[in-house]
């Protein structure tokens, strides 16, 4: 009993640099993986839950993400970016794949309309949960047309082509406005 408490205490107090963590993960160190999960799962869950609103389903996606990270850690390249950014992309892609999947789409058809639709604004859907990740104040400073495109693309997971059809604007205009919005956001954040 004392040994279990002591080892749990050690694992909670252990801290790794990003390089150490990656090296241990490449060696399939389970304690390092536990550290990775404990320290990164809340942030990744928040991103996943923005895209997959059902908490149980988002939890399933999170588990799949960590399995994927464990299996594909050898593909991580520190030259291309930070470990968190790499994991964030895996999580975002998994969440988008989930909402685009046929079983997920079929499950939406069997729910009352009020559970499928978020706050309506014009011809598009705006997800009010943007507040949860702390960017609402910055994003609200964008023009309406840019804010809508950022929300649809990055928080709801729509492709540029889907946004073009949804808002009935040319694809080139969608891409240009998103690029402009990202440039403005980058300037605001810096």
Q: Residues with Cβ < 8 Å from 126, sequence gap 6 or more?
A: 118, 119, 120, 148, 151
Residues 12, 18: Cα–Cα separation, whole Å: 17
Q: What's residue 123's pLDDT?
A: 47
Three-state SS at 65: helix
Three-state SS at 171: helix
Structural domains for the chain: 13-108 (1.10.1740.10), 117-189 (1.10.10.10)
Residues of the chain predicted below pLDDT 50: 1-12, 113-128, 130-132
Q: What's residue 135's pLDDT?
A: 66
β-partners of residue 126 are 119
Extract long-range pairs of 109-117: CB within 8 Å, 24+ residues apart.
none
Identify the residue whose tokens are 């040319």.
Answer: 170
Q: pLDDT digits over 83-106, tens only? A: 998 999 999 999 988 888 777 666
Q: What's residue 110's pLDDT?
A: 62
What sign for the dihedral angle of Cα 60, 61, 62, 66? Answer: positive
Q: What's residue 65's pLDDT?
A: 95
State if pTM tops 0.75: no
Residues 27, 31: Cα–Cα separation, whole Å: 11
């Amino acid at each position: 009993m004392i040994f279990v408490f002591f080892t749990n205490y050690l694992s909670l107090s252990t801290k790794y640099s990003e390089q150490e963590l990656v090296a241990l993960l490449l060696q399939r160190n389970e304690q390092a993986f536990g550290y990775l999960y404990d320290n990164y799962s809340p942030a990744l869950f928040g991103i996943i839950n923005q895209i997959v609103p059902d908490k149980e389903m988002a939890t399933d996606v999170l588990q799949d993400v960590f399995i994927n990270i464990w299996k594909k850690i050898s593909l991580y390249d520190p030259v291309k970016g930070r470990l968190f950014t790499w994991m964030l992309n895996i999580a975002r892609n998994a969440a988008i794949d989930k909402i685009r999947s046929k079983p997920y789409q079929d499950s939406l058809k069997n729910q009352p309309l009020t559970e499928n639709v978020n706050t309506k604004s014009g011809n598009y859907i705006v997800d009010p949960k943007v507040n949860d990740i702390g960017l609402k104040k910055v994003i609200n400073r964008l023009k309406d047309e840019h804010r809508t495109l950022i929300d649809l693309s990055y928080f709801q997971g729509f492709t540029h082509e889907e946004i073009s059809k949804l808002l009935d604007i040319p694809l080139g205009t969608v891409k240009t406005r998103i690029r402009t919005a990202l440039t403005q956001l980058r300037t605001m954040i810096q």
